Structure 1
């Protein structure tokens, strides 16, 4: 009986990568128009929510999809092959789900309520990490029963369809600037989404600015307090869990570019130069895949901390750099045909450039690696 039950459970497990391939063509059909119009990929994300992708990372015990960290990365990587903006916007929600899911396996009481709401209320979480990181941003002022938050967040991917902004604000405390971690209702009083997202690439992500004008945050909604500008255990946890998921998107983009380049190259006159370019593309793509694989291996085997953060951030630099170079080689292999919008290759070329801008950017990542190698304080 035990064997039968185990097999039944295994058979019922969702194959999220396969599901991504199933919905992918429908996502791809809307990608070019969204890019041309600077339009948020709302329909694509609504479709994915209807299919349960928004709760893929919630443990099955809580009614979610029960996907592992590696399975979430494979899901996002596959979606990116069809629409980079859709995949990146979903990755920003997905990593915010994966973080409490990771904690739930250790301290379930602290996060079970949020995970249950993601399933029951179909919540979409929006990250402000791109405008915060170690320093935090926006101002928190003490108020009766909590705080008032003032300021502006940038790069809030998916915010037009978001429910909760997972964010930070800085309190001028007696012990020094203190970053408060909190969740804000995106449709609450004092929250305004500004139409600012007109960009080179990833145009469909809806990564607009969010203006916060005295938004009230109760004391009970503050989940973490930490010194501004310094590494903290929670930031090591974010690094370990979030960045392999985000950079899976860029590897998926490079894989899509490779496929398009091979199709376009097949129509060109064979030459040793073309073969060399294609070989260079394959080499760069292999480097991106290897870097992502190491990030995922680190997340699977290590606990949050300086060594793991440096390893993940090194992988972030290597995966992003190699993905960009692989797409550049794909453009070169395609020749003039790749310059036309109708091929979709130039859109991938623009989208993949966003890999440069997530923290830690290359110079900061290299400094972290150097200080760790030298045995110095990483906050120095």
Structure 2
């Protein structure tokens, strides 16, 4: 945790450059690597620490506090290390990390992915979308269908082309571009059924947690960490500021400002505790049980969508109070504001979908076909 906190000044200093270049700076990736932070969720046999997911998500919050886009990419790459550790045999992991323990894995959504049988494996054709951090990754995971059943694939990107589609209003620095796959080959051992628990090959709780009800907490954590960064910046700025149109008082002396700070900090603290406490409970339960109860998974889905709502509210409140100068692109507060709102659009964090799942389970109704 101290290594992540020590990166804060450099992350803040690079935040604008990260957005303008629309990718996380190479030196940020190098520093995350040097600090061992990419190893947190990696299997031990390949140099990883197999630390609990709540520890990883707290690290995500610390990185996102300094730079939301960097925190988001760290969340994505770390989550993919967990995915490969959970869903694949040692043969697939040997392919990924055997010759390069520092290999990083991106992903992408490919609803029209074409999957065809090849000699001893599969050929993939299609276009991955929203491939966060793809500039820094040589491997990818995605989901396609084999005989109508969702299947996870992990493969080397190789000569696949990165297409610069990432022209967006927030989280520009994540570089979540498209990746075009043309006859990308992977062996059979790099394909795995994508059922909600999946074939588990390791005992650590981090590799047995239900993916759709737990893994997106890393993205929610990036949003909550960014909200804390925005609040810290607002407090530092407003503490000594005086009215620009004249006046002999400090704006921080206004009761309305003090109330906004209090309410926003309460929302951020609540969101943070909500995420970390749920993950701690999940970890401790899986130490002695094989699966989470459906009620807990529904609660987890509810809260991973509600925490970003609290983060958004907290930053909306202080952004309004920060005045007209906050709209300049040179002001980092507007970047926090845009990044948080962009991150909350992520499909796994959608409140409408996740809240209705929880409501149905709470009422004893059939939630339907849910990917837990």
**Pairwise TM-score range, normalised by the shorter structure:** 0.7 to 0.9
The farther-off stretch of 115-124 and 271-280 is: 115-124
1:314 is aligned, of 281, 285, 302, to: 302
Runs of 4+ more than 6 Å apart: none
Q: How does 1:43-192 map to 2 (within 5 A)?
A: 43-60=27-44, 62-101=46-85, 103=86, 110-111=89-90, 114=93, 118=97, 121=100, 122-128=102-108, 131=109, 137-171=112-146, 173=147, 177-188=148-159, 191-192=160-161
- The one-character-per-residue Cα deviations of 1:209-265 (angstroms, maximum 9, x if unpaired) are 111122223323212255xxxxx3339721244122222111111111111111222
The farther-off stretch of 316-325 and 259-268 is: 259-268
Determine the structure 2 residue equivalent to 1:7.
Answer: none
Q: How does 1:1-380 map to 2 (within 5 A)?
A: 17-60=1-44, 62-101=46-85, 103=86, 110-111=89-90, 114=93, 118=97, 121=100, 122-128=102-108, 131=109, 137-171=112-146, 173=147, 177-188=148-159, 191-224=160-193, 232-234=196-198, 237-266=210-239, 267=241, 268-269=250-251, 270-302=253-285, 303-304=291-292, 306-353=294-341, 354-373=343-362, 374-379=364-369
| Cα drift, residue 54 of structure 1 | 1.7
Q: Secondary structure at the match of 1:294?
A: helix
How far apart are the structure 1 equivalents of 2:305 and 2:114? 31
More helix per residue = 1
Structure 1: gaps (5+ residues): 1-16, 227-231
Q: Secondary structure at the match of 2:211?
A: helix
How far apart are the structure 2 equivalents of 1:186 and 1:246? 23
How far apart are the structure 1 equivalents of 2:93 and 2:120? 21
| Cα drift, residue 195 of structure 1 | 0.7
Determine the structure 1 residue equivalent to 2:247.
Answer: none
- The one-character-per-residue Cα deviations of 1:333-355 (angstroms, maximum 9, x if unpaired) are 32234323333111100111112
For the structure 1 residues 112 and 292, does the alpha-carbon distance in structure 2 shift closer, same or farther, using more than 3 Å as the test? farther
How far apart are the structure 2 equivalents of 1:295 and 1:118? 31
* Root mean square deviation, CA, Å: 2.7
For the structure 1 residues 258 and 243, does the alpha-carbon distance in structure 2 shift closer, same or farther, using more than 3 Å as the test? same
Q: Secondary structure at the match of 1:285?
A: helix
How far apart are the structure 2 equivalents of 1:219 and 1:63? 25
Q: State how many pairs are aligned.
A: 343
For the structure 1 residues 52 and 113, does the alpha-carbon distance in structure 2 shift closer, same or farther, using more than 3 Å as the test? farther
For the structure 1 residues 51 and 148, does the alpha-carbon distance in structure 2 shift closer, same or farther, using more than 3 Å as the test? same
How far apart are the structure 1 equivalents of 2:271 and 2:352? 19
| Cα drift, residue 366 of structure 1 | 2.0
The farther-off stretch of 197-206 and 281-290 is: 281-290
How far apart are the structure 2 equivalents of 1:72 and 1:290? 14
| Cα drift, residue 113 of structure 1 | 6.1
How far apart are the structure 2 equivalents of 1:119 and 1:73? 26
For the structure 1 residues 60 and 219, does the alpha-carbon distance in structure 2 shift closer, same or farther, using more than 3 Å as the test? closer
For the structure 1 residues 202 and 263, does the alpha-carbon distance in structure 2 shift closer, same or farther, using more than 3 Å as the test? same
- The one-character-per-residue Cα deviations of 1:258-309 (angstroms, maximum 9, x if unpaired) are 1111122221432222222222212322332232133323432343463333
- The one-character-per-residue Cα deviations of 1:348-378 (angstroms, maximum 9, x if unpaired) are 0011111222315121112212332333143
For the structure 1 residues 236 and 153, does the alpha-carbon distance in structure 2 shift closer, same or farther, using more than 3 Å as the test? farther
How far apart are the structure 2 equivalents of 1:75 and 1:124? 18
